[in-house]
């Protein structure tokens, strides 16, 4: 097995993969080393020089490269081997390798879907905390833990939402900073960024929590739909996360009889005095 | 009253309106500009509450003071609930603050009827105008339209809002007379017609100002009266046709505190609401007619989904050969969706479809099996009676709620 070392980026892999294709090396002959894992034992044992590249050009559809680039954001062992196998098959004319009904293609589409979902999770479940930016630094900061490498490609979305406001997102791996005009992506994320994102206090969160508690309808408790749509791994970074178990147990303990939030039912009510005839809307005769 | 207390009351008062879509708006961006907010056609659910429903918009009433006495509504005038009223500026502040935090993608604003339909509508429009003009807010705005409001006010609302909605509430005039004495079908449909005209005028001329580009929707309450699913679905079908609605929402009647005797004390099974949404989806996305799903009076089956029910009643079309059939017929097979149907048709240009291919597309195989033929598979169930298949595929009855 020949080891292929590259910098771990898609551009680096693409360059390396083109080279291997030109050498005519089949997927099972290669092991991909992107610097994230220990070097492959068997790769080190292999001292034979691979065949030299010939100059034949490799042609694959543009759409395939787009798909491979997006699928490369999926974190897993063997991330690059599948991509090369599909590239190899398509380069040989086997276009089924790209399709969802194929064994390799279905794995590719599963990864594409997971990457798309994870970008969507970033857009949905990230929470910015406002901070006093007069002393410098971004106006909004957020801490997020994505499962795949989607931060760089998906965070431009927030520049569209927030206009000229400045913001920073820190993750356990990389980070992005929007200075009002340009997006800066840094990998790995600087420790000061992580500290700022996780350490900023939010004094006005109570308003959102009040809303969340009231818009919930305890008469319709449905835990499984909640967990399908908002995976539990995101709860700990959401301000409303700690409320969820409490709201569920309140609902189970009897508040389920009707839809009213507990915070509302404890307040005094008020009937409105009006005569039925007085309030009828005036309508032109039909 | 503190702002947080008003929010607590007015969010609780608004939650029985189930529409939460933030999709369908044209592409707008604030990149490099003052103000904030963006839309790109796709909706985003920023959170989910433990009832499984999504939080995409700040959904509140401007006020829950209401002169009307709709029996199914928690805010009816005879209801003994806490009352509150936001100023338009307060709604604006909350919207912008939640939006910056990425908690929401916009605002859904409705209101109890105060003074008159026109006065109430004016107040709603004022909030949208403040957001759009004073604060250059480009996020999503959904405004509830008050039936009986003047066409001029509806036209103004359409200039600021992405979506407008008029709730039909109950599908028949007789139910409205009994349960919502101040409402009537004619003015509701008149408002829907005004919105339809506005949308069509705006889209027919390139230079015309935008008008509710995400269209209009409505809501029907299920289980507050005796109306059956057949009436509900046929009503929905004619609303889709007559007024070009984007969505009809079905809201299972939710028991309210101090419920009047005119409405049930218990909620209908949530499964009934779910089946109505499935049937609605089949009408919008799969070309089913209401009469195909329910050809006479009655309700949709609860134990099986409406597509399976249709297939079992129409065995003459099955089994379907996935290597030959038209894509629209493949999409009618239980367990196979539109996307999978398109993928199967694309794949069969490359090779003959085999059973394992269908499995890799992650179709609901157990449901599809009795109805498909592939290169290497024919269903043994093809000759079996529908009743037997139904028993095999029916979903286990749910455990009853404790309360």
Measured CA to CA, the distance from residue B353 to residue B334 in angstroms comes to: 18
Averaged pLDDT of chain A: 89
A38 vs A101, higher pLDDT: A101
Minimal Cα–Cα distance from B311 to chain A, Å?
Answer: 24
Q: Which residues of A touch B35 (CB under 8 A)?
A: 163
SS3 call for B7: helix
pLDDT at residue B403, rounded to an integer: 43
Tell me, yes or no, if B9 comes closer than 8 A to chain A by beta carbon. Answer: yes
Q: Cβ of A20: how many Cβ atoms within 10 Å?
A: 22
Minimal Cα–Cα distance from A169 to chain B, Å?
Answer: 12
Measured CA to CA, the distance from residue B62 to residue B91 in angstroms comes to: 8
Confidence check: pLDDT of A148 > 60? yes
CB contact under 8 A, A215 and B14: yes
Q: Cβ of A119: how many Cβ atoms within 10 Å?
A: 20
Confidence check: pLDDT of B16 > 70? yes
Confidence check: pLDDT of A263 > 90? no
Q: What is the mean pLDDT of residues A64-75?
A: 96
A48 — pLDDT class (breaks 50, 70, 90): low
What are the domain boundaries of chain B?
Answer: 3-289, 306-393
A residues 22-51 near B, CB within 8 Å? none
Q: Which two tokens stand for residue A94?
A: 């086997």
Q: Which residues of A touch B351 (CB under 8 A)?
A: 96
Q: Which residues of B touch A261 (CB under 8 A)?
A: 8, 11-12
Measured CA to CA, the distance from residue B62 to residue B57 in angstroms comes to: 14
SS3 call for A120: helix
CB contact under 8 A, A126 and B102: yes
Look up the CATH superfamily of B3-289.
Aldolase class I (3.20.20.70)
Confidence check: pLDDT of B72 > 80? yes
Strands A183-186, A175-178: parallel, antiparallel or unpaired by DSSP? antiparallel
Q: What is the mean pLDDT of residues B2-14?
A: 96
Q: What Å distances lie between residue B13 and B82, B246, B249, B308, B353, CA to CA?
A: 9, 25, 18, 37, 53
| DSSP bridge pairs for B378 | none
CB contact under 8 A, B50 and A223: yes
Tell me, yes or no, if A253 comes closer than 8 A to chain B by beta carbon. Answer: no
Lowest mean pLDDT among B79-93, B155-169, B251-265, B283-297: B251-265
- Over residues A90-127, the pLDDT tens digits come to 999 999 899 988 889 999 999 999 999 999 999 999 99
Confidence check: pLDDT of B17 > 60? yes
Any idea what DSSP says for residue B138?
Answer: -
- Over residues B304-332, the pLDDT tens digits come to 999 999 999 999 999 999 999 999 999 99
Minimal Cα–Cα distance from A240 to chain B, Å?
Answer: 9
**Cα dihedral angle (B273, B275, B280, B283), rounded to 10 degrees?**
-170
SS3 call for A68: helix
Minimal Cα–Cα distance from A209 to chain B, Å?
Answer: 9
């Amino acid at each position: 097995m020949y080891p292929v070392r590259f910098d771990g980026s898609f551009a680096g892999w693409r360059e390396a993969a083109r080279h291997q294709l030109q050498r005519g090396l089949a997927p099972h002959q290669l092991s991909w080393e992107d610097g994230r894992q220990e070097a492959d034992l068997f790769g080190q044992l292999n001292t034979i020089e691979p065949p030299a590249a010939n100059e034949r050009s490799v042609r694959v559809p543009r759409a395939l490269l787009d798909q491979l680039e997006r699928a490369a954001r999926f974190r897993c062992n063997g991330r690059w081997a599948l991509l090369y196998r599909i590239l190899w098959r398509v380069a040989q004319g086997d276009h089924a390798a790209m399709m969802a009904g194929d064994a390799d293609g279905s794995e590719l589409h599963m990864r594409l879907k997971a990457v798309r979902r994870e970008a969507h999770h970033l857009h949905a479940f990230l929470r910015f905390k406002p901070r006093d930016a007069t002393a410098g630094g971004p106006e909004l900061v957020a801490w997020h833990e994505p499962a795949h490498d989607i931060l760089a490609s998906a965070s431009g979305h927030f520049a569209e939402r927030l206009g000229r406001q400045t913001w920073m997102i820190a993750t356990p791996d990389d980070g992005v900073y929007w200075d009002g005009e340009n997006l800066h992506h840094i990998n790995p994320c600087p420790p000061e960024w992580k500290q700022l994102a996780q350490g900023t206090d939010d004094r006005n969160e109570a308003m959102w929590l009040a809303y969340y508690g009231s818009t919930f309808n305890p008469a319709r408790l449905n835990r499984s739909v909640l967990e399908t749509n908002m995976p539990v791994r995101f709860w700990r970074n959401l301000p409303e996360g700690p409320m969820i178990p409490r709201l569920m147990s309140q609902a189970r303990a009897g508040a389920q009889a009707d839809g009213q939030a507990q915070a509302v039912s404890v307040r005094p009510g008020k009937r409105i005095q009006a005569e039925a005839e007085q309030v009828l809307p005036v309508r032109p005769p039909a | 009253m503190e702002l947080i207390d008003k929010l607590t009351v007015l969010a609780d008062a608004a939650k029985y309106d189930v529409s939460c879509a933030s999709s369908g708006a044209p592409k707008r961006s604030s990149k490099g500009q003052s103000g904030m907010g963006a839309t790109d056609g796709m909706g985003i659910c920023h959170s989910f509450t433990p009832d499984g429903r999504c939080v995409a918009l700040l959904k509140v009433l401007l006020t829950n003071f209401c002169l009307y006495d709709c029996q199914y509504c928690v805010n009816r005038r005879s209801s003994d609930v806490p009352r509150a009223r936001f100023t338009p500026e307060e709604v604006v502040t909350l919207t912008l603050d939640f939006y910056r935090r990425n908690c929401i993608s916009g605002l859904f604003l409705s209101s109890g009827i105060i003074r008159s339909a026109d006065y109430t509508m004016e107040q709603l429009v004022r909030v949208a105008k403040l957001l759009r003009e004073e604060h250059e807010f480009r996020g999503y705005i959904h405004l509830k339209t008050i039936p009986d409001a003047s066409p001029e006010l509806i036209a103004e609302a359409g200039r600021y809002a992405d979506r407008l909605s008029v709730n039909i509430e109950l599908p028949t005039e007789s139910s409205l007379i009994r349960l919502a004495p101040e409402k009537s079908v004619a003015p509701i449909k008149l408002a829907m017609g005004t919105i339809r005209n506005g949308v069509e005028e705006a889209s027919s001329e390139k230079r015309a100002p935008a008008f509710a580009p995400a269209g209009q929707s409505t809501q029907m309450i299920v289980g507050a009266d005796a109306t059956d699913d057949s009436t509900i679905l046929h009503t929905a079908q004619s609303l889709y046709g007559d007024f070009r609605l984007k969505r009809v929402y079905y809201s299972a009647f939710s028991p309210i505190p101090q419920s009047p005797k005119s409405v049930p004390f218990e909620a209908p099974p949530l499964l009934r609401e779910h089946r109505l949404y499935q049937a609605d989806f089949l009408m919008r996305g799969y070309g089913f007619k209401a009469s195909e799903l329910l050809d006479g009076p009655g309700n949709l089956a609860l134990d099986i989904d409406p597509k399976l029910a249709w297939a079992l009643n129409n065995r003459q079309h099955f089994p379907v050969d996935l290597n030959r059939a038209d894509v629209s017929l493949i999409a009618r097979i239980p367990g196979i969706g539109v996307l999978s149907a398109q993928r199967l048709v694309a794949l069969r240009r490359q090779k003959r479809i085999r059973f394992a291919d269908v499995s890799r597309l992650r179709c609901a195989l157990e449901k599809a099996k009795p109805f498909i033929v592939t290169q290497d598979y024919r269903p043994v169930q093809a000759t079996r009676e529908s009743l037997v298949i139904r028993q095999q595929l029916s979903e286990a009855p749910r455990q009853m709620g404790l309360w």
